[in-house]
Chains A and B, each alone.
Chain A
Amino acid sequence: MEMTVTKSELINLLAEKYGHLAFKDVELAVKGMIEHMTHALSSGERIEIRGFGSFSLHYRPPRMGRNPKTGDSVELASKFVPHFKPGKELRDRVNQARS
């Protein structure tokens, strides 16, 4: 049975672990880290976290799409989409835990 860990649960875990830090500071730090990462990717910068993985942008060429309601063809512009490549440690830990 798969469960989900959310941002607020991560903040709780970190705040518990670092009891000498104010909860608010841990909360702002986690939100700050996520914003930093969002901002980097949105400026076209890669993110490289050893053991965790890397985030980069992948180019998608323009293509013809269809409006599902009307069936009309529409030209969809080229774009970039975020891509995550898990690092070796993460890949290995996730795969070893499989059962």
Chain B
Amino acid sequence: MALTKADMVERLFENHGINKRDAKELVDQFFEEIKAALAQGNSVKLSGFGNFDLRDKNQRPGRNPKTGEEIPITARRVVTFKPGQKLKVSVEAYSRQNAENVRLESEAPSAKKSRGS
């Protein structure tokens, strides 16, 4: 179960009394404006939630994991997200209840592909 745009539209309709068509436009356009800003080379700061920043990466050597063949990873610009203080603190409350359980359930990878071992 994951939060989607449809859930956000539903919430705007129910909690803010915005009709479904406007709510859908607002949700779509909210993400579109963020994408457009980033595509124009701007960073985006949503205070409390986090910052979307851009990083320019140089070309670096890579490998086709299937064939082992060496192919360079070309220079590129990527988006990074740095969570804001409020989001980090809220997630930490969840962490206090659940991170220890994850550790006890074995050192099995949670959301992550097994890192090492």
Q: Is the beta-carbon distance between B3 and A4 smaller than 8 angstroms?
A: no
Number of A-B contacts (CB under 8 A): 196
Interface size on B, residues (CB 8 A): 67
Bound state CA distance, A38 and B99, in angstroms?
Answer: 18
Count, chain A residues at interface, CB 8 A: 65
Is the CB–CB distance between A6 and B38 below 8 Å? Answer: no
**B41's contact among A28, A37, A48, A97, by CB below 8 Å, is which?**
A97
List 16 A-B residue pairs with CB atoms under 8 Å apart, sorted by A's residue number.
A3-B42, A6-B46, A34-B46, A34-B48, A37-B3, A44-B94, A48-B3, A49-B4, A52-B34, A58-B111, A77-B95, A78-B99, A82-B91, A84-B79, A86-B78, A96-B39
Residues of A within 8 A of B (CB): 2-7, 10, 13-14, 17-18, 21, 25-26, 28-30, 32-34, 36-62, 77-84, 86, 89-91, 93-98
